């Protein structure tokens, strides 16, 4: 895995500028660096050596020297494509997968993208045409950001590299906070930095003659086959997933595996007999500690497991570090858990496989059961349901309140993705009056439109794949693994795996028996029953418990009353949110954590507070 960056146009001391940008990506590629400059562009690269350790340094040039490539990711079918390209007369100078992109682009142009199997973000500069081509993989596993200002086009794997570009003026994008409060993550393509954008998954970008052109080259379309039998589904999943894991294990260095107690990572790990797996947990409570399950599975299927119990002091002491590497505020508490498990794994291996994507492709989230669970309630007259929702909306939070609120809404109104936090009324209450507070449905409406007429579960999956997966799941997976110079691969997010998942009928995804029904049946052929049937936990973090302990309550209370907090929020509303949780009146932990995570991030990126680990993250005043 690697990091890349670049800019067009002239600046004072271009060599120093591109090296400063690349230095911000050293954690993504500590093994070597590479640079290219000519009259139109400066390009920088940091390498983590995985394939062709001796010959894979970048940049890589076309045979005539016209095209210049820098690439982050892995192409799993590169040998197959290499064979085709050699047959068409191309000559390869290395054994790396990177070079396939260069010759493939020469041969097929943009059509190359739909021939690839892998995760990627890359840049190709055409020296004769003075054009730049950027591309990002199908699901958004690997990142790419860009900005256009002052006659320059600047791009990088991480935003912190763009911030290092000479003359870039760092400003907060207020609208990003507005959306973040609803979703708990930065919603692409905008970022928290004004003028900086995220290239969406399955999109490519041309920069020519000072103009940016972006278009989508692939879309994850579902086409459920209601005639498919359970046996057919399970056999197809088993076959395609075994092939995917095999492809994702291609490497010239040792490959390990993250292992929780759930079916996703366990199914991946079942192909790792005799090799290393890695697990983290919190305390002794099995609701927050999956180590016991992971070790039991490891013993039964012959794995070497390395585990670590994260102490509260460790977790809180690294929050600034975590938010620094995230680039943007992310309130998903499991992100820090990924940071720790990545640190452990990086001591033993350079590559790990993980289970991200299984829930979105195969119907794994409990929220996908909501259409069936609420079907009887929705038979009540709409007017009655709206009246009950209006009554509940004016009351403090209580058990069942959310059910009543959602019961009066359409799917498009109530579901904005797997994570949904403050209502519009609550958002207006906690944000300062002069801050924008708009309904999040404006962002999801165009996505809903593309799956009009499909069943509710499939539509929810589609929304999560296009918004939640890239904005939260893959953001934290990439940033937390790369913080420890560790390459993370996700065999569920493979185009061939998606092709099988896209045809599954609803009854084989979510039913009364379980979520991810067909996937669990396939995994059961490889795993002990206690794992194949186990409910998903996914690196659970005891935030709810910690926020009811005086030490952490006081830490957050101080931060909520800080000068920084007063720039954006209503301090009295924040304090009420915190107190009601602390006294046990309701569970506001996710809402509290969302605000607190933003304040920590802002402290690091705008107040200049050190992100070095070890200090408790009280926000500066």
Non-local (6+) Cβ contacts of 347 within 8 A are none
- 517: nearest Cα among 526, 502, 504, 527: 504
Q: What is the rounded CA–CA span in Å between residue 385 and residue 400?
A: 13
Q: What does each C-alpha distance from 442 to 371, 416, 433, 438, 449 come to in angstroms?
A: 22, 10, 20, 8, 12
Non-local (6+) Cβ contacts of 321 within 8 A are 339, 483, 611, 612, 613
Non-local (6+) Cβ contacts of 499 within 8 A are 240
5 is a catalytic site residue: yes
* 371 alpha carbon, distance to own chain's centre: 26
Beta-bridge partners for 122: 71, 135
Length of the chain in terms of residues written:
621
For residue 92, what is the DSSP state? -
- 201: nearest Cα among 219, 186, 185: 219
- 566: nearest Cα among 620, 520, 525: 620
Q: At what angle do helices 98-108 and 78-87 cross, to 10 degrees?
A: 50
> Environment class of residue 336 by beta-carbon count within 10 Å: exposed (0-12), middle (13-18) or buried (19+)?
buried
Q: Provide the H-helix boundaries in 486-588.
A: 495-501, 517-524, 529-532, 543-546, 550-560, 563-568, 571-582
Q: Residue 345 corresponds to which tokens in the numbers above?
A: 């794994």
Q: Which position among 2, 5, 204, 257 bears the catalytic label?
A: 5
405-409: long-range contacts, CB 8 A cutoff, minimum separation 24:
406/370, 406/374, 407/374, 407/377, 407/378, 408/382
Q: What is the rounded CA–CA span in Å between residue 568 and residue 462?
A: 33
For residue 424, what is the DSSP state? H
- 68: nearest Cα among 25, 120, 123: 123
Peptide bond preceding 189: is omega within 30 degrees of 0, i.e. cis? Answer: yes
* 70 alpha carbon, distance to own chain's centre: 22
Q: What does each C-alpha distance from 218 to 203, 509, 546 come to in angstroms?
A: 7, 23, 43
Residues serving a catalytic function are 5
């Amino acid at each position: 895995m690697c990091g890349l960056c670049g800019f067009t146009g002239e600046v004072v001391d271009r060599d120093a500028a591109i090296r400063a940008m690349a230095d911000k990506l050293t954690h993504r590629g500590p093994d070597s660096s590479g640079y290219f400059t000519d009259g139109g562009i400066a390009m920088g690269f940091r390498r983590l050596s995985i394939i062709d350790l001796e010959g894979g340094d970048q940049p890589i040039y076309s045979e005539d020297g016209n095209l210049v490539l820098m690439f982050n990711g892995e192409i799993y079918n590169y040998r197959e494509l290499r064979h085709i390209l050699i047959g068409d007369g191309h000559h390869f100078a290395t054994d790396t997968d990177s070079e396939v992109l260069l010759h493939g682009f020469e041969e097929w142009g943009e059509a190359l993208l739909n021939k690839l199997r892998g995760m990627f973000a890359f840049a190709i500069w055409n020296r004769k045409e003075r054009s730049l081509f950027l591309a990002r993989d199908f699901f958004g596993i690997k990142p790419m950001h860009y900005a256009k200002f002052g006659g320059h086009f600047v791009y990088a794997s991480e935003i912190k590299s763009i911030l290092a570009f000479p003359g870039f003026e760092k400003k907060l994008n207020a609208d990003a906070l507005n959306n973040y409060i609803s979703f708990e993550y930065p919603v692409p393509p905008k970022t928290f930095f004004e003028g900086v954008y995220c290239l969406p998954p399955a999109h490519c970008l041309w920069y020519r003659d000072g103009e940016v052109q972006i278009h989508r080259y692939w879309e994850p379309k579902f086409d459920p086959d209601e005639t498919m039998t359970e046996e057919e589904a399970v056999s197809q999943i088993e076959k395609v997933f075994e092939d995917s894991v095999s492809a994702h294990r291609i490497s010239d260095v040792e490959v390990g595996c993250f292992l929780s107690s759930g079916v996703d990572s366990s199914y991946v790990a079942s192909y790792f007999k005799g090799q290393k797996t890695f697990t983290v947990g919190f305390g002794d409570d099995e609701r927050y500690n999956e180590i016991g399950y992971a070790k039991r599975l490891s013993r039964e299927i012959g794995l070497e497991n390395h585990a670590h119990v994260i102490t509260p002091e460790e977790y809180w002491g690294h929050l600034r570090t975590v938010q620094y590497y995230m680039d943007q505020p992310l309130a998903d508490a499991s992100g820090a858990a990924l940071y720790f498990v990545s640190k452990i794994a990086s001591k033993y291996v350079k590559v790990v496989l993980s289970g991200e994507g299984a829930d979105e492709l195969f119907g794994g989230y409990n929220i996908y059961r909501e259409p069936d669970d609420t079907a009887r309630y929705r038979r009540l007259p709409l007017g009655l349901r709206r009246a009950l929702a209006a009554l509940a909306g004016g009351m403090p939070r209580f058990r069942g309140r959310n059910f009543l609120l959602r019961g009066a809404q359409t799917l498009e109104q109530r579901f904005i993705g797997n994570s949904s936090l403050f209502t519009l009324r609550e958002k207006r209450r906690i944000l300062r009056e002069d801050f924008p507070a708009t309904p999040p449905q404006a962002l999801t409406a165009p996505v809903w439109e593309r799956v009009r007429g499909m069943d509710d579960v499939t539509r929810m999956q589609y929304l999560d794949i296009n918004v939640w997966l890239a904005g939260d799941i893959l953001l934290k997976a990439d940033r937390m693994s790369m913080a420890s110079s560790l390459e993370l691969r996700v065999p569920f997010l493979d185009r061939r795996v998606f092709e099988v998942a896209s045809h599954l009928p609803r009854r084989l995804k979510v039913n009364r028996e379980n979520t991810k029904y067909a996937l669990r049946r396939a995994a059961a052929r490889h795993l002990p029953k206690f794992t194949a049937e186990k409910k998903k936990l996914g690196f659970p973090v005891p935030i709810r418990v910690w926020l009811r302990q005086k030490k952490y309550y006081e830490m957050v209370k101080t931060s909520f009353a800080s000068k920084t907090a007063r720039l954006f929020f209503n301090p009295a509303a924040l304090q009420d949110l915190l107190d009601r949780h602390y006294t046990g009146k309701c569970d506001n932990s996710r809402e509290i954590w969302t605000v607190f995570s933003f304040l920590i991030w802002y402290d690091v990126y705008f107040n200049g507070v050190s992100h070095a680990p070890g200090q408790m993250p009280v926000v500066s005043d």
